[in-house]
Structure formats: structure tokens, C-alpha cells
Structure 1
Amino acid sequence: MADRIWSYAEMRYREFQSAELHATALEAEGFKLTRGVAGMPTAFVAEAGSGGPVIGFLGEYDALAGLNQASGALECRPDPERTLNQGHGCGHHLLGTAAHLAAVVARDYLQKHRLPGTVRFYGCPAEEAAAGKTFMARAGLFDDLDAALSWHPSVANSVFMNATLANVQAYFRFRGKSAHAALAPHLGRSALDAAELMNIGVNYLREHMPEQARVHFAYIDSGGPSTNVIPAYAELLYTVRANRIDEALALFERVEQVARGAAMMTGTSVEMVFDKAVSNVLHNDALDRVMAEQMEAIGALDVSDEERAFAAQIQATLAPDDLSNSSKHFAAALRDPQPIVTGVLPYSATASRPVTGSTDMGDVSWAAPTTQCLTACFAWGTGFHSWQMVSQGKASLAHKGMLLAAKCLAATGVALVRRPDVLQEAARELAGKRGGAPYRCPIPADVLPPPARDAAAAQAQAEAVRA
């Protein structure tokens, strides 16, 4: 059973072609490559230059399961030429490409102007529900960065000002005793009952959670399709979120207690298998101000009438709630509502930052001063992880937003090389927000990334056979 689950988890780390395309292209550009870092075959670091400061550009390239969608379609319709049910519903194909370009441009600028400094591109796998960067942070790969720069495709252009939630994710595996459900139910101990009671218990926790905390679950194994067998095995995957990583870990401990109670009530046993965790993002105003300056200097997107028309067609497929959700996060864009938000939204270090989802960039931001931007690659109102986002992922607007992001990242990196005072301020700011303590990874040291877990399990099995 465990082998099946780890194999399922490893599906989040299968960006072999995308990772290799990035790696070989950077190698051809003269970057020195280190592949397979932090125990993940699709993670790598590419480096050029020498000395300080050290500027890191972080790229992603993973897709989402269940989002196969025909490009450019105005309806939810799979692409028949794709054999896998996956799609870029969060624009990570754009994310990695823009960061890649920015790293090359920044390296070229430093060489041309004979400026000291090291440029790194980090190939970061499995951001979606897998925390690739958290494992990289635990391995110390960001510790010597003076600044970490990244971005995300979006529906507006701005410095990333939103708060994020920390999260902890784990499998809960209940084991009982099977029996005939009619002839001898009293001899059985239902693992499914235990899983159900855990869910009920966690629901009663919801009144007593911190504000903005969230708990999600999914059945990995519900015990089989037969109603006439007492299930001996059931498995749940839980994700616990909260404003800060310490709050998330504390809430996770309470969820664990509920699981143990459910096992006691049903005469079963429970095994908790820690999967991953991510910290909340620590914004760095010193770096954010520089990013905002570069975005303002570069200016608005130049979009065509055809692109506006396509964006309007996409908007026509959206529900009112989709549009209002974008408004919640980008209220400033409502002053001039358009199918495409072309201008740069104003930056404010004291602006309200609504809580959004979770990202493993949070752990990067605890390990090194970090700034991020957003650029409009999709029609206003497009929801993340939707078929509409996949449909727009190859459109010309997506490419324009991607190039705008590359310009913003490269310009910010170059500006920071020329402003050591800002880098020093950013380092002091991060130290203050961490309370003077070093970064502490929320994933226990003995928890390996899924690919490394599979490798370790295979080696153990081979050794057992030889013995």
C-alpha cells in the first residue's frame, strides 16, 4: 500500500522534459549546472559569474493533473492529441521561461559592464502541493543568496503584495481487521469507520481554529468497493493551513490527536506519514520597492485589439464570482475595468495584503531576502487552476506578460547589483522578521522528497531480497 502512495506522490516530480530543456539551454549559454539537487531528479542549479552579490532567479515548470484542455478553446474541452490528463492551469510554463530569460539577460549585463556578481537560476520542481523549494531550502541551496527573485503569471501587473498561508500535509493510514459484514461484523475493526470519525472530529475543530486557518482532506483509499467486507485499510491525505508556519504546525498537532482518538474509538491503529510543509511568505519591503521602481520604469503592456477581443470572449465564460474574486485581490484595477489590465498597479508597503493560497516560495523568503512580481498573462477574472487559464496559456497575451516579467526580473537583479545598500537593508529586514533566528525548515530532516523515498524503498527492497 505504501509503495502505491509514494508512486502517486512522485507524479508531482515528473517534469523530466521541461527540466532538461531548461538545463541544457542554460548549459549552452555557459552556465555551470548542478543537476538532481536536494534529492530530486528534476531540480537543478545553474550558475554564472563570480563573487558577490549573489542574485537568484527561481523558475518552475510543473503542470496540474486533471486539466487537459484544448488551447484557445472557449469551452471546457480536452485536447485529443494529449495522452496525459495534465495542463498548465497555473502558468508555470511561463514562470520558468521568464525567470530563465531574466537570468541570462542579467548575466550578460554583468559581463558587458564588467560588474562582479553571481547569477543563479534555480530549476524548482513540484510547486503544486509538493513543496520542491522547501526541500531545496532545507538543503541550504538559498542560504548564500543576497536576493531571490521570482514572479507568477496573473491577471494584473504589480509587485506581489499578498500574504500567503503556511501549510502542513500528511497521510493518515488506518489499519483494522477485515470480517464478513453480515456473518461476523463483531469480529471486524473498520479502518473506514476510523477515517470517517477522524473527518468528523476535525470538523468539530473548525470552531476553534485561528482566523484564516483551513483544513482540507481527500480519500486516498476508502477501503475497497465491497459493502459486505469490513475494511481493514483506509487512508486520508490532510492539508492544514494557517497564517504562520508555527500556527500551522500547532494546528496539525491537534489534527493528529483527532486521528489517534478515531483509532482508539474503533479499535484500529493509525500511522501518520509526514508528506511536506511550506512556510508563509515573508515580504521584503526593501526589495519590493526596487521591484516596483523597475515595473514603473518599464511601463504598461502593449496589447492589440485582437488580444482584447479574445480576453473578452474568455471573460464571457466566467461566472460573476470569478470576476469578484479577482477584484478582492486587485481592487485598484477596478478603477478602469478592462478585459486586460495593462497598467502597473501601485505599490505600497503598508497596503492591505489579503490572504491567498500557499507557496513554497515562502520557505525561500525565510532563507533569503525575496521579492516577486505578477504580470497580466490572462484575461481579467481568470481563475487559477481552471480550464480557462490552460486555454490562454499559449496565447500571445501570455507571451507578452511572460516577457514583461522577464524584463522586470532582469532589471531588478541588475539594479540590486548596483545598490549594495539595498541588499544590506534587505538582509537586516529579513533578520528582524525572523526575530534574529535562522531559518528552520518545517519538514522534518528524516522526511525525503517522494523521488528519494522511492529510491530508498527500492534499495531497501533489493537489500532484503539479497539477504
Structure 2
Amino acid sequence: MPKAELTPAKKTALDWIDTNRDRLSQDHQTIWSFHEPSWREYRSAAWYVERLRAEGFEVEVGSGGMPTAFCATWSNGDGPTIGGYAEYDAVPGQSQEAVPYRKPREGVNRFAAGHTDPHSALGIGSFTGFLAAKRAMEQHGLKGRLKFFGEPAEKMCGSKPVHAAKGYYDDLDAAFSFHPHSFPALANSCFWDTHCAAYWSRIYTFECAAPETWNTSAANVGVAHVHNVARAPGAIDAVCLMYTSSKYMKEAMLPHTGSWSLNEYIPIAGQATADNLAPNISQIQYSLRAPTLEMCEQVFAVLDRNAEHCAAMSHCTVTKAWVTRTRQGLANHAMAQITYDNFELIGPPQWNDDARAFARELQKNLGAKPMEDPFAPETQVLTTPQEGEAWFRSQLPSWQHNISADDYVDYTWHAPTVRLYVARPALRAAEGGVRYPEWSRYAMCGYPACIDPMWETAGRVIAATIVDLLTEPEHLRKARAEFEERTGGGIGGSKWVAPLLPKDFAPPVHYRWPEYIDTVRGAGEWTIPTQDPSQQASLEPK
């Protein structure tokens, strides 16, 4: 039997979800259709702000100096403050229509963004839970305060470290972090001890500001042209040297144990200028996932040294700027247990005949035999947090206590926080070596019958758990006591890790991140690339 009970207040919250299910499904489709990438989620953020204000929340727009972030609050009197959030950034290059075959979205560049995790449903799931809890609070007189954040750029682990550094989480009594499942053995569950790892990202900007000083001994005499003298290597050479040297050094950065990854992105590689002038600017971004902060420090010490040497060799200067720095996740068993207890009460997501028919059509189009039940069995059952933890420990070295990366970890150092996983639709493994491409998962994430059970289940679990936290003070007392013990006294305690960004940190919104823009060539142009080569003629003025 479930340990949590279906109280009248919980029933009110769940009934509200039943009543509003169709509208919420349409809401999800709205955010999914925006498919805006990190730091450029203008329409998605504006939609949430408008809806939250219509629901009676007070909303600070652009919280933490981030144009596409927000902080919304609603109070029903003195009581605990419960936090949660929506994410809504999509991933460049992952465009896919909600159809059972490969088809990038119509009306946009084929390299446009798409929801992969999907954050569209992540946000609507949390949004559903908080609105349902609000309804229960109103009808049953439950005292407390809801604090709901808009968190942009999760794919860069961008906003939560900023909100944390600027004090937005300091007044929370508890927080919810919901995510579509990432680990098959933990599809419907909560993290126990093993939480997400640290994620650090930095941009190196190389500039060749004084190319004329590269070879001061060169003589310009007779009929020789000034461009015939030796040209400074410049910023393109700098970024190429940085890219290759850091690849060569990668295996020497950290011990060959534990899971970690280092990836790079080049936002700028020179400028479209005369070929005989030294390119004057380039940038490269490095992003690291690592289990410990010490490993992060070590990797970026190597990268910093490389950058200085590459700048010197190419006659450039280099500046370094953080994009983000997260901490490691901090467990809270009390929050995980009460949330999972309500998950048992609600049950795992269930898919109807419409969803199964869509999934079978996917299997057929991918060369697999359509199955009576095309969805992975793990997605249709619950896994206790303790069982999930045992699975993690069987996969990881004994010293590694954090894995993967997500910036929710910054919530965990300011309030007792649960990491809730609910299964998104995933195809059952096929025989004959058929491997399902990623786009097939993205297609299901946009098809209502496939994706709605996930966000609806998450909303139900979150709403029920918020009601428990507000009606049974012992749950919050236990969670807070555990938080105090793990941090050595709470915020500022002896074991507490402070935010890794300064309070005056300027969010990295000014870089050349991919986005949709309006130009004289038309509306909604995708900056990477501007157009397909076959369409280039259409860019010429008429």
C-alpha cells in the first residue's frame, strides 16, 4: 500500500489537473512549438510570465539580470515557501516534427533547435503541479508561499547558479526539481545519494589588436605593397591552436577513472574580412562535466595555460570569462522519500492506444518489428530511490558520488531539494541490432498522446507532495534537519559550499549564441547557418 494518503486537499489538486488537462496539453504544445535555444527563449518566458500573472502570481521579469528568466511568487498567508521552476530552452540542430518519420520542422532552417529532454514538458509538468497545489491551498485554507522560477539556458547550466549567487533561493523551505527520465533504471523515481555532478563552462576570447607589431624589422621599400610583409598569425590561428593543443592535452588533464567529459564550441572564428589582414577576434567555449570541484579546477588550470601560450604564439591577447560554474548536488533523503511516497500514490505514467499506435509506426519506419507494447518496460513501473541508488553504485567507482550534470544542483545548497524523475516515452529495445535514432525520441516528445502522460504524472506528484509539506509539518522538519546536518548548519554552515559565481556576476547573454532573428531578408531567420546554400540566391535584394 502507498505510504501517502489521498487527503481532501490532494484530491482537490488532482481534480484541478483532471479539469484542466486539455488546456495544459495545449500549453505544452505552445512551448514545444516555440523551440527557442539557450538565452534566447523570449517568447517562452513571456508566455509563462503572462500565464502566471493571470493566475495571481507577482512576477519579476528578467530576474538576476537574465532577460529570459523570471521569479514568480504567490502567497496564501504566513507559512513555508516552496520553490520550483520551469525550463524552456531547446537544443540547436535537433529540429524534428511530431511525426513517426524523420522530418525537420517546417518553416524554419533544418538546423534549428528542438526540445530533446524535453524542457517544454519539464516546464509544464512543474507548472501544473504548482497551479494544482495553489488551487488546493485556496480551497482548503493552506498557508504558505509558492515561488516559481523561469530558468533559461539549462543546456548551458546557465541560470540557476546566477539566481543562487544573487540570493533568490535563500528564503526557500523546500524545492522541487523535476526532469524527464535520463537513466533507464531510474525512469520513475527520485535521486537518493548520487546526484548530478559539477558543470563549469568558460569562454576564451582571442584578439589581435596590434598586428602591425608582429614583425617590426620588416622593411617596406621600393614598390613592395604593405600587404606583402609578413602577416601576424591572428585570432583564427589562436583558436585553432587552442582547439588542437587542448585535444592533445585532454588525456593528461585528469586521471583515467570516473566519468567526466570536456566539449568545445567556437562561437566566432575571425570575421569575413580581407584575406590579407590578420583576423582580429575569435572565441572558443569549453564545457566540463566532472564529479568533483577539484577536477574542475585542474582541467581549467590546464586550459588557462594553453590559452596563454596559444595567444602568445599567434600575437594575440586572451581574456577569460565564465559562462557558468555549478556545485555538486546535495542529497536530501527526507524530501526524496515523501515525494516518492506520493509517486506510489499516483502511479507511473500510462500510455493509451493512440500513443502506442504512434510508437509502433515509428518502429516500423525504423526497420523494427512493431510490438504490441512498444514502450520500454522500465518506463511503466516505479523504482524506489534505494533501488536506483544501488544501480548507480554498481556502475560507479566507490569514490564517485556525483554523475552527469544539471544546474538544479545549486538549489540543493539553499534548501532541501528533491530530484524527481518521471518517464518520458521511450521505445522498447528491438531485436536484430536496430538502434533507434535520437530524432525518434524527439518526435514522441511533441506528440500529445505520447508526452502528456509524463508531464501530467509529474504535476500530480509535485502537487500532492506540496500539499503534504504544507499540512504535515513533520515532513519539512525532517527535511530541514537533514539539510542542516549535511551543510553543517545550513546556509553559511561549516560544510556548506557557497555559490561559485560572484553576486555581481553578469549573465553571459551577450555572446553570439544561436537564435532566431528578424532581418531585411525576413522574419525568424536562424543564425547558424543563415540559409541553406540552395537558397542563397533568395538573399539578394530584389
TM-score range, shorter chain: 0.7 to 0.9
Q: Which residue of 2 aligns with 1:30?
A: 56
Query: What SS does the aligned partner of 2:322 have?
Result: strand
Equivalent of 1:440, from 495, 498, 519?
Answer: 498
With over 3 angstroms needed to count, the CA separation of the structure-2 counterparts of 1:244 and 1:428, relative to structure 1, is farther
Q: Which residue of 2 aligns with 1:351?
A: 390
- Would the aligned equivalents of 2:376 and 2:428 in 1 still touch at CA under 8 Å? no
Whether 1:372 and 2:399 are equivalent positions in the alignment is no
- Count of aligned residue pairs for this structure pair: 428
**Where does 1:112-261 land on structure 2 (aligned, <5 Å)?**
112-154=139-181, 156-160=187-191, 163-176=195-208, 177=211, 183-185=228-230, 187-203=231-247, 204-210=249-255, 211-223=258-270, 230-261=278-309
Whether 1:387 and 2:439 are equivalent positions in the alignment is yes
Equivalent of 2:45, from 19, 22, 40?
Answer: 19
Letter in 1 for 2:151: C
**Where does 1:75-94 land on structure 2 (aligned, <5 Å)?**
75=102, 77-82=103-108, 85-94=112-121
Q: Residue by residue, what CA displacement relative to the aligned partner does 1:360-417 show, whole Å, maximum 9, x if unpaired? A: 1011112221112222222247999942233112321201111001001111111222
Identity percentage of aligned residues: 28
Q: Residue by residue, what CA displacement relative to the aligned partner does 1:209-252 show, whole Å, maximum 9, x if unpaired? A: 15323221122233357876554433211112211334323432
With over 3 angstroms needed to count, the CA separation of the structure-2 counterparts of 1:12 and 1:341, relative to structure 1, is closer
- Would the aligned equivalents of 1:378 and 1:398 in 2 still touch at CA under 8 Å? yes
- Would the aligned equivalents of 2:201 and 2:323 in 1 still touch at CA under 8 Å? yes
Query: What SS does the aligned partner of 2:265 have?
Result: strand
**Residues of 2 paired with 1:398 and 1:287: CA distance?**
26
**Residues of 1 paired with 2:436 and 2:333: CA distance?**
26
Q: Residue by residue, what CA displacement relative to the aligned partner does 1:74-128 show, whole Å, maximum 9, x if unpaired? A: 22x1122346822212211111111111111112222322222212222222212
- Would the aligned equivalents of 1:71 and 1:392 in 2 still touch at CA under 8 Å? yes
**Residues of 1 paired with 2:309 and 2:316: CA distance?**
10
**Residues of 1 paired with 2:277 and 2:253: CA distance?**
36
Q: Give RMSD over aligned pairs.
A: 3.3
**Residues of 2 paired with 1:160 and 1:86: CA distance?**
29
Q: Residue by residue, what CA displacement relative to the aligned partner does 1:49-83 show, whole Å, maximum 9, x if unpaired? A: 222211112111222222221112322x1122346
Query: What SS does the aligned partner of 2:156 have?
Result: coil
**Residues of 1 paired with 2:502 and 2:437: CA distance?**
29
Q: Which residue of 1 aligns with 2:19?
A: none
**Residues of 2 paired with 1:212 and 1:413: CA distance?**
34
**Residues of 1 paired with 2:191 and 2:366: CA distance?**
24
**Where does 1:226-305 land on structure 2 (aligned, <5 Å)?**
230-305=278-353
Displacement of 1:147 in angstroms is 0.8
**Residues of 1 paired with 2:428 and 2:501: CA distance?**
35
With over 3 angstroms needed to count, the CA separation of the structure-2 counterparts of 1:446 and 1:17, relative to structure 1, is same
**Residues of 1 paired with 2:479 and 2:437: CA distance?**
33
With over 3 angstroms needed to count, the CA separation of the structure-2 counterparts of 1:397 and 1:205, relative to structure 1, is closer
Letter in 2 for 1:217: E
Q: Which of structures 1 and 2 has the bigger CA Rg?
A: 2
Query: What SS does the aligned partner of 2:440 have?
Result: helix
With over 3 angstroms needed to count, the CA separation of the structure-2 counterparts of 1:222 and 1:181, relative to structure 1, is farther
**Residues of 1 paired with 2:475 and 2:281: CA distance?**
56
Letter in 1 for 2:385: Y
Displacement of 1:148 in angstroms is 0.6
Q: Which residue of 2 aligns with 1:333?
A: none
Q: Structure 1 unaligned segments of length 5 or more: list them.
A: 1-9, 321-335, 455-467
Equivalent of 1:99, from 121, 126, 134?
Answer: 126
With over 3 angstroms needed to count, the CA separation of the structure-2 counterparts of 1:446 and 1:78, relative to structure 1, is same
